[in-house]
Amino acid sequence: MTAPAVLPRHVAIIMDGNGRWAEHRHRPRAMGHRAGQKAVRATVRACRERGIVALTLFAFSSENWRRPQDEVGALMELFLRALDSEVDELHDNGVRLRFIGALEAFAPALRERMRAAMQHTAGNDALLLNVAVNYGGRWDIARAARALAERVARGNLDAAVIDEQLVAGQLCLADLPPPDLLIRTGGEHRISNFLLWQLAYAELYFTDTLWPDFDAAALDDALAAYAGRERRYGLTGAQSRARA
């Protein structure tokens, strides 16, 4: 297919449907998570090849701790092994890796590997890959509010000047343009506490494809849908077309 005319700079993905993918095959849910790792690899490569600047993946939400202990354990094991097996290749491909979320909740060995991977790839610029783990959009906003409140309490900030820009500056991904396109696989039509603030004007794309089946062709379908959208930011259609 031809390349879409308008490419998003920043794509965010809620990678959903691993469990159902495995259940359809009468296999344990953990196998679906492992299959999902392949889809991550394919998607990262495709984003890099297409010239997307940043990709933000929702890998584990602050609510996912509530799953059965063996599934949480299998996911932690998978994250640990993926950090060992994937980081060198990401680095060779110029990918900069960053983790966002309340990382302090993870076991020390996992935290240390996340820190090392971020440091190892910090100089790369072919693609910025953000992986959201123990992330919640409400946590992100509450944390920003706390940081500003602490500055006010110390006398370094006048509460009257707090505006959208100051709040945005305290959030995860503050150094990036907000996501242009949010993709959710797995058929559900919800945000599930992902980047609540940052998605304010993202184009939303939902697909029934289960995450382990997502690939470059599925990404191209999403990019083609995005290229056909008109982003109006509150203007009338005529106004926004006059500016384009």
Active-site amino acid positions: 16, 64
Name the residue number minimizing CB distance to Mg ion. Answer: 16
Q: How far apart are CA 81 and CA 53, in angstroms?
A: 26
How far CA 72 is from CA of 33, 76, 190, in Å, comes to 11, 6, 22
Residue 232, C-beta contacts closer than 8 angstroms, at least 6 positions apart: 239, 240
User: Considering the complex, what minimum distance in angstroms separates the CB of residue 171 from Mg ion?
Assistant: 24
Residue from the set 20, 50, 111, 232 that interacts with ligand IPE by CB under 6 A = 20
180 makes contact with Mg ion (CB under 5 A): no
Q: Two tokens at 211?
A: 């995450």
Residue with tokens 């939303």: 204
Binding string, residues 90-109; x marks residues near Mg ion by CB under 5 A? --------------------
Between the CA atoms of 41, 46, 51 and 57, what dihedral angle is there, to the nearest 10 degrees? -50
212 binds ligand IPE (CB under 6 A): no
The residue behind tokens 């809620």 is 14
Q: Binding to Mg ion by residue 16, rule CB under 5 A?
A: yes
C-alpha dist (Å) from residue 128 to 10, 37, 140, 190:
9, 18, 20, 25
Q: Which of 81, 117, 77, 76 is nearest to 97 (CA)?
A: 117
- Answer yes or no whether residue 61 interacts with ligand IPE by CB under 6 A: yes
DSSP 179: P
- Is 78 a residue that touches ligand IPE (CB under 6 A)? no
Q: Which does 212 bind (CB under 5 to 8 A by kind): Mg ion, ligand IPE, none?
A: none
Q: Which is nearer to ligand IPE, 150 or 188 (CB)?
A: 188
Candidates 15-23, 42-50, 87-95, 227-235: pick the segment binding ligand IPE (CB under 6 A).
15-23
CB of 201 to ligand IPE, least distance (A): 21
Minimum CB–partner distance for residue 56 and Mg ion (Å): 18
Give residue for tokens 């790792």.
Answer: 37
Say how many residues touch Mg ion, by CB under 5 A. 1
Binding-site ranges for ligand IPE (CB under 6 A) = 14-20, 58-61, 64, 75, 186, 188, 190, 192
